[in-house]
Amino acid sequence: MRNLLIRLLFAWVCFCLTQSALHAEQTPQASGVKELSSLLEWSVVYQRRDGIYQTATNLPKPRLLVSAGRYPRWSPDGQSVAFIKENSIALFKLEEMRETSLAHARSPKAVAFHPSGKEVIFIDGKKINAVAIADQSVRTLAEGWDFRELDCAASGLQLVVTVKRLGYAIRGFDLARRRDWKVASGCSASLSPGGALVTNNSSDHKQLFLRDYITGEIRKTITAPAGRRLDNQFWSNAEDWIAGRSEESDEGGSIFVYQVSTSRVFQITGDNDADRPDFFARKAITPGKPVLR
């Protein structure tokens, strides 16, 4: 009887070790700044409790760009950052290291650059507006939902948003045809630069689904590193790169970057209060693989 128990115990231990090894092979592990910088030149902006920070390959340490700002988003040329500061929709120009207020919003939630670089799109309660950088004129693009997150494709005619109504859902907006539709339940809505795919967190935040913009069909799944839950993902200026943050606290966590073509996940900050990142891929060092066909 004793020998039988020993054999059973040994078999159980072997089974557990095998399962652990299989899980390790299936779950991408987070790599750091060094590994990411071997692939490309990059820069990322993100919010912390005291303002907006930038981390990049050519910066020895993160630097504070804007005090008390939140929700930073890169311009198409990577030279400016749109953001929210209190009730203002604002712009920060890196070359001048200067911020400018563009518009006032009663209930600002999110911002994104229009692909032309001439407007900043922003959520104000149940409206999505666009403010012109040149003359600060404002136009309304969509309305009628409790909007929470926002992104715009390269065409300038495709929006994807997170809305709240009996839970969260991701909706697509075709501005040319003046129609909208549900893409999926959940949050973390952003668009691939070409407008074909939408990011969508799983309900447990351990997987990121890349869905078809029109049909909502899952085209690819990226798994969070073991023991992590990731949130607030946002597609970069390049098809192969998406940024997000870990859920270490209510204020935020560490910033991670996903490589779509390989499903690799890179941890690039150690801050436990970082959130709402936007990653800018400046120059590829190693040619990447095609993302999705």
State which of 35-39, 56-60, 104-108, 248-252 shows the largest mean pLDDT: 104-108
State both tokens at 153.
């494709």
The CA distance from 259 to 292, in Å, is 12
Handedness of CA 111, 81, 242, 24 (dihedral sign): negative
The predicted-structure confidence for 36-72, as pLDDT tens digits, reads as follows 999 999 999 999 999 999 999 988 889 999 999 999 9
Q: What is the pLDDT of residue 7?
A: 53
Q: Kindly indicate the confidence band of residue 31, based on its pLDDT and cuts at 50, 70 and 90.
A: low
- Average pLDDT taken over every residue of the chain: 88
* Domains of the chain as residue ranges with CATH: 30-284 (2.120.10.30)
Task: Identify the burial level of 162 via C-beta atoms within 10 angstroms of its C-beta, where 0-12 means exposed, 13-18 middle and 19 or more buried.
Answer: buried
The CA distance from 123 to 137, in Å, is 15
Indicate whether 163 pLDDT > 60: yes
Q: Where are the alpha helices (DSSP H) in the chain?
A: 2-26, 33-37
Angle ∠(117,285,258) on CA atoms, nearest 5 = 70
Q: What is the pLDDT of residue 3?
A: 53
Indicate whether 291 pLDDT > 80: no
How many other C-beta atoms are found inside a 10 Å radius of the C-beta of residue 109? 20
Indicate whether 84 pLDDT > 90: yes
Q: What is the pLDDT of residue 271?
A: 77
